[in-house]
Structure 1
Amino acid sequence: MSDKPVKARMTAAVEGDVVVFLIGMRINRLSAPWSWLPTLRAMPRMLRELSRDRESGMLGYRMLRRGVRIFYVVQYWESTQKLLAYASDPGKEHHPAWAAFNRRARDGRGSVGIWHETYAVPAGHYESVYDSMPAFGLGAVGGVEPVGRRGDRAAGRLGI
């Protein structure tokens, strides 16, 4: 999608259920790169793998950073089943990365922390608005359409 702002009020043109998966890491000891650098490098490999595989169920993602210590990714998925299938598949990048992280974590004494949160959002229980923005977030994943097609107010888009 374009980085050019759409000079109108738009909303995500997404139908059905959505899974929002947040995953990240925090560098607790900058002086221990052997503990956190492999973890930092693993995520782009997983995202490339998922992006190439249309059947994986990952709809899209956005990588973010807060300062020099915190890195995280917002991912959008078709279903929790596909997310969990990827996470547990020994033939995919996640499985060996997770095993390697656990080995390093034992030796690293808390040098790096990781976290994730999963939100399974049923159809009709999410809404969005983008005003003078390029497609972003869920809109970048599913495209955008004029707000009026789904209701001019957030409550209307939520069916409230």
Structure 2
Amino acid sequence: MGAQLLKGRTTADASGEVVVFLIGMRVNRWRALRSWLPAARAMPRMLKELSADPGSGLLGFHFLRGDPRTFYTVQYWESREKLLAYAAQPDAEHRPAWAAFNRRARDGRGDVGVWHETYVVPAGGYENIYVDMPAFGLGAAHGTAPVARRGDRAAQRFAAG
């Protein structure tokens, strides 16, 4: 039926720096299946590979959808160094997927677009609250704690960073 509901008010049990990585694709031409389908299939393979390796640095992720053409994941990482190490790892899923995407992009005339954004958020630069929610987002990546532990108000949770 889904993830366990955490009753009441909770907050992520994160401390220190937080690394958030957003990566996605936009289908510019639906009929160009050969351009965008391989990109769409690559992300689940990479996330499966990362999730199977506790030392990879990936702490958690969520698949999301923007407008009807845009799909992306929000990922939480242990450090920017581990994120960059995975991206450069020659024997991992990312490198061949990226090379194949670039080959198709040159031939595809803009059939599919990809994007990513990375945020390294210092301690004290984030806060969160979850009310009657299963572990989600940063809380799923770092675990949760009762909100009173970090402060009942947003300003208190920022200060507890």
Q: TM-score range by the shorter chain?
A: over 0.9
In the aligned structure 2, how far is the partner of 1:18 from the partner of 1:97? 26
Aligned: 1:95 with 2:95: yes
Q: Identity over aligned residues, as a percent?
A: 65
Corresponding residue for residue 79 of structure 1: 79
Alignment of 1:9-24 (within 5 A): 9-24=9-24
TM-score normalized with structure 2 length: 0.94
Count of aligned positions: 159
Structure 1 segments (4+ residues) deviating >4 Å = none
Moved more, 103-112 or 135-144: 135-144
State the 1:54 CA deviation: 0.9
Query: Per the alignment, in what secondary structure is the counterpart of residue 76 of structure 2?
Result: strand
Q: Deviations over 1:22-47 (max 9, x none)?
A: 00000000010000000000000000
In the aligned structure 1, how far is the partner of 2:122 from the partner of 2:82? 16
Aligned: 1:136 with 2:149: no
The one-letter amino acid of 1:135's match is A
Q: Deviations over 1:112-156 (max 9, x none)?
A: 000000000112221110011111101111111111100111101
In the aligned structure 1, how far is the partner of 2:30 from the partner of 2:22? 23
TM-score normalized with structure 1 length: 0.95
Any stretches of 5+ residues in structure 1 without a counterpart? none
Q: CA RMSD in A?
A: 1.3
Moved more, 60-69 or 17-26: 60-69
Corresponding residue for residue 35 of structure 1: 35
Query: Per the alignment, in what secondary structure is the counterpart of residue 25 of structure 1?
Result: strand
In the aligned structure 1, how far is the partner of 2:68 from the partner of 2:93? 25
Corresponding residue for residue 55 of structure 2: 55
Corresponding residue for residue 124 of structure 2: 124
In the aligned structure 2, how far is the partner of 1:159 from the partner of 1:67? 35
